[in-house]
Structure 1
């Protein structure tokens, strides 16, 4: 059955997503429709798709899978010809190193696409693991390719996704090369909050951050104890507050100045806001 006004069944990933949405002020008494999917919310916020595109997306988002925390979704070096569109939960995209270490390249959040760019290569160049329970809508690469041929707006949206991913990676290179450890952690928090808020999974000044300090360190080139000290320093300066896995941004302007965070690389696009006809 296509995703239209289908109720979500209870599962660990869905329950986790509900907690995040509840924290963001989402009305959970309503049935979820295709318009509520974080992937669609992200696209519509940029005016990239119209109602016919939504109907076409609803027809292919008909296979739902739940992934357990710690489960591999993509394994580096293996063929992967599927796109998993994240409805809820958090993942990590990383590359494995010869001596058993890993470098986390990016956090995967609701509304993101797992299998992009892996499906475009003969073998996956990265691995992806679920950092929390995840709920995914699984689409074959061929089916999505056919959809792009029929719906130009969705094809353009995929190009926009690629440009956005490239800009995120560029900022992460700046993190590793030029930002201090404190600036890296501050930038990571602001970027994650902005990405979650865009798809309705964070409130104005707080968000859920389920990643371990070890994972954050692997993403930022820091040790887990170093991440812990930087978080403590941000709390000491009164810039953030933390409770369990919830981060509260207390002084946004000062935090943005510290991190040199300017979110245009996450929100701006050269596309017209009027959908292509």
Structure 2
């Protein structure tokens, strides 16, 4: 006997939250408070989690106590817990997070899944791999300002157009300077200095949880940001 798992087309390239909610079917909604662990690599329950709202962080701790941020998960993103377990990462909610939880069909031979679900999962894995490749280039070959600017441009692009107010170029950002530093391999002191330099240079401002691009085009040119790596064609 097989179990049918269904999922509507997840529009991960669009920040339209209501559309994402309406097109996910067959999953179990779960909500996590800020700071709560969504998944730990010691958990042996394989799942696929699609973020409906909120911010989450996937990270790992080194033996010396240093935290490395692997990925920030945003609405529309998928978290594959078998992948997280293999990489020994921990996923935590940064803000209040809502996910739709599905059983991981790659770990359950008895699950009967649609070809659409296969395409969505494979595409999400491709997108994450593209972001990881860019993150590696970011840390390995870019200076402090380029690393930080590139990350903030990536987050803004993934979130889509701002809903804060008309003609505002920026986004609400629940990240701390420590979060940003752990994602780009810099200390909090260094991040503070970089953000100040970008503000003085007329590139962006990050105050009170709001990132505002003062000159997005100039910043994108300066850090060599190309957003085409976000959206490989659907398989």
Question: Which residue of 166, 176, 186 corresponds with 2:149?
Answer: 186
Correspondence list, 1:41-80, <5 A: 41-42=11-12, 57-58=24-25, 60-61=26-27, 63-80=28-45
What does residue 218 of structure 2 align with?
A: 254
Question: Which residue of 178, 186, 194 corresponds with 1:222?
Answer: 186
SS of match in other structure, 2:59: strand
TM-score after normalising by structure 2 = 0.82
Q: Indicate whether 1:209 and 2:173 are aligned.
A: yes
Q: Matches of 1:206 and 1:264 in 2, distance apart? A: 19
Q: Indicate whether 1:81 and 2:51 are aligned.
A: no
More helix by share: 1
- Whether the 8 Å CA contact 1:71–1:130 is kept in 2: the answer is yes
Q: Matches of 1:82 and 1:182 in 2, distance apart? A: 37
Question: Which residue of 264, 267, 276 corresponds with 2:228?
Answer: 264
Change (3 A) 1:259 1:140: same
Q: Single out whichever of 95-104 and 188-197 deviates more from structure 2.
A: 95-104
- Whether the 8 Å CA contact 1:213–1:227 is kept in 2: the answer is yes
SS of match in other structure, 2:45: coil
What does residue 90 of structure 2 align with?
A: 127
Q: Indicate whether 1:169 and 2:132 are aligned.
A: yes
Unaligned runs of 5+ in 2: 1-6, 16-21
SS of match in other structure, 2:191: helix
More strand by share: 2
- Whether the 8 Å CA contact 1:73–1:129 is kept in 2: the answer is yes
Unaligned runs of 5+ in 1: 1-33, 46-53, 272-277
Number of aligned positions between the proteins: 221
Change (3 A) 1:136 1:144: farther
Q: Matches of 1:121 and 1:91 in 2, distance apart? A: 13
Q: Matches of 2:142 and 2:123 in 1, distance apart? A: 27
Question: Which residue of 104, 116, 129 corresponds with 1:153?
Answer: 116
- Whether the 8 Å CA contact 1:86–1:137 is kept in 2: the answer is yes
- Whether the 8 Å CA contact 2:60–2:88 is kept in 1: the answer is yes
Change (3 A) 1:147 1:110: farther
1:85 positional shift: 1.4
TM-score after normalising by structure 1 = 0.71
SS of match in other structure, 1:41: coil
Kindly provide the CA deviation profile for residues 135-158 of structure 1, in whole angstroms up to 9, marking residues without a partner as x: 122222249978995421221121
Change (3 A) 1:74 1:254: same
- Whether the 8 Å CA contact 1:89–1:134 is kept in 2: the answer is yes
What does residue 105 of structure 1 align with?
A: 70
RMSD: 3.0
